[in-house]
Each structure stands twice: as structure tokens, then as C-alpha cells.
């Protein structure tokens, strides 16, 4: 396909999947339960954190997380005491366990108390055409208070070679606003043009088949290559093509 043909093909797939029907089977349904900005972004961040593996299990365990937070995540984070974290003892999603979950709550409280919230942290360190430096600095802030060393693995760092798929997905949810009803667009200090595609084995395989990616590993260098090629198709909103790559991979077995 020519570049114009590829863009037209992907645009049709974006239209096919970027609509409210997408929410029904996707983890983004969790933050769609809330209306308060802070509840949306916190529930989205926690859901994105455990978004690997079977999607039904991700959704099931994200619901468990919200129930443990009294379905008021912001209020719980700001008002909780350590005794309440004991209720997390039986929570586990793959390698993310109750100790990790408890630390995430403590760290989020620190971020809202001392750094003006999640959006402020990411906005402070964002670059004009990339969020990867912001993700790196976010991880440093997230672990600036005393923490279990094991929990560090649950926040990726692009400067250590990671494609940071889950955080890039979270940022897509928060920043994009195209009135399609899927992404929230509640972070107005950032632009979709700064975002990167959530790169994983599925989107990576489709990107290679379409000539958008040549690197074999799904790492930070691959993400940079994919970003560059997607920006050639739409510099203002390159990450919208995540819907196309995901739909082709997971739903169409492309």
C-alpha cells in the first residue's frame, strides 16, 4: 500500500473501533463508571496498571480494586488510614499483589497532596512531541517515598528501554478527546500530538505487517520508530491509530 492507501485503510479501522461499543469489552469501562475528574484518572491509572493478560480478568480485578476503594477512589486515597489497607490482603492480579496495591494508594496520596495530582506531574515534564521523558520523571516521583523495591517493576521507564505500554494507554485515555465517547480528554494541559501508541505484542505484530515497524523487539526504540511513522499519517492525533492496530490484531486476527 502507498502511504495514502495505508492511512485510508487505518482511518476506516479507527472509525470501526473508536466508538462506545468498544467500551463494553475493554478495561476503559472501569473509569467510565465515574464522573469526578480525580475518580476517573485514578481508576484509569489503577486499571491500566494491571492491564496485561486476559481482558476479562483485567476487568474483573479492576472492579475488585474499585470495590476495595469503596467505589470512591479519590476520597479513599485522600482519607484512608493504614488499617484500611489490610482489606487488600487477598488482592492479586498476576504479579501485582496486595503490597503493591497498598503502596500505589500511599504514593497517589503523596502525588495529590504534594504534586497537585497526576495531570500536573505528567504536564510538568512533557515535551512538545513526546511523553516519554514525562513518564520517566513520573516514575521517580511515584517512588520518592519509602516503598517496596519489588513494586518498582509495575511502573515502566522509557529511559530504561521500555515501551511503557500501559502508561501510554492511560495517557491516551486521559488526553484524547474526539467526541467518539471512548477516550475522556479530561487533561487539557496536554495534546494528543504528544502521545505515543501503546505498543505491545499485538499492535507490534500488526504494525510490522503494515510496514510501520521494522524493529523486532517491542521496546522504547520500536516505539520511537512506530511514533515517527504514525505521525506521518496524522501529526495531530497519531495515537488514534491504536484503535486500528488493536482491532486488527485482537478482534480481526489480522
Sequence-distant (≥ 6) Cβ neighbours of residue 56 within 8 angstroms: none
Sequence-distant (≥ 6) Cβ neighbours of residue 103 within 8 angstroms: 147, 148, 151
Contact between 129 and 136 under an 8 Å Cβ cutoff? The reply is no
Sequence-distant (≥ 6) Cβ neighbours of residue 188 within 8 angstroms: none
**pTM across the whole model:** 0.96
Contact between 69 and 78 under an 8 Å Cβ cutoff? The reply is no
38 vs 180: CA distance, rounded Å:
21
pLDDT at 69: 97
Dihedral class, residue 106 (left if φ above 0, else alpha if ψ from -120 to 50, else beta): alpha
Per-residue pLDDT of the chain (254 residues; tens, 9 = 90+): 899 999 999 999 999 999 999 999 999 999 999 999 999 999 999 999 999 989 999 999 999 999 999 999 999 999 999 899 999 999 999 999 999 999 999 999 999 999 999 999 999 999 999 999 999 999 999 999 999 999 999 999 999 999 999 999 999 999 999 999 999 999 999 999 999 999 999 999 999 999 999 999 999 999 999 999 999 999 999 999 999 999 999 889 88
pLDDT at 25: 92
**191's grid cell:** 495534546
Q: Chain centroid to CA 7: how far?
A: 24
Spatial CA neighbour of 195 closest among 157, 167, 219: 167
Q: Chain centroid to CA 221: how far?
A: 19
What CA–CA distances, in Å, run from 6 to 136, 157, 196, 206, 234?
Answer: 32, 31, 19, 12, 12
Amino acid at each position: 500500500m502507498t502511504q495514502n492507501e495505508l492511512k485510508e485503510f487505518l482511518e476506516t479501522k479507527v472509525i470501526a473501533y473508536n466508538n462506545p461499543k468498544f467500551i463494553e469489552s475493554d478495561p476503559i469501562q472501569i473509569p467510565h463508571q465515574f464522573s469526578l475528574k480525580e475518580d476517573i484518572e485514578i481508576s484509569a491509572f489503577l486499571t491500566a496498571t494491571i492491564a496485561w493478560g486476559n481482558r476479562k480478568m483485567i476487568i474483573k480485578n479492576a472492579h475488585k480494586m474499585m470495590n476495595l476503594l469503596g467505589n470512591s477512589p479519590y476520597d479513599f486515597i485522600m482519607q484512608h488510614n493504614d488499617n484500611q489497607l489490610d482489606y487488600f490482603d487477598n488482592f492479586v492480579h498476576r504479579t501485582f499483589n496486595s503490597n503493591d496495591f497498598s503502596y500505589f494508594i500511599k504514593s497517589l496520596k503523596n502525588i495529590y497532596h504534594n504534586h497537585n495530582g497526576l495531570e500536573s506531574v505528567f504536564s510538568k515534564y512533557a515535551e512538545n512531541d513526546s511523553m516519554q521523558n514525562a513518564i520517566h520523571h513520573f516514575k521517580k516521583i511515584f517512588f520518592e517515598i519509602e516503598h517496596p523495591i519489588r513494586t518498582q517493576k509495575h511502573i515502566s521507564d522509557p529511559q530504561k528501554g521500555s515501551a511503557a505500554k500501559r502508561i501510554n494507554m492511560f495517557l491516551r485515555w486521559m488526553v484524547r478527546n474526539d467526541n467518539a465517547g471512548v477516550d475522556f480528554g479530561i487533561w487539557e494541559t496536554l495534546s494528543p500530538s504528544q502521545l505515543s501508541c501503546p505498543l505491545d505484542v499485538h499492535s507490534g505484530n500488526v504494525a510490522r505487517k503494515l510496514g510501520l515497524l521494522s524493529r523486532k523487539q517491542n521496546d522504547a526504540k520500536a516505539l520511537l520508530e512506530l511514533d515517527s511513522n504514525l505521525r506521518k499519517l496524522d501529526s495531530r492525533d497519531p495515537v488514534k491509530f491504536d484503535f486500528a492496530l488493536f482491532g486488527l490484531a485482537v478482534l480481526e486476527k489480522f
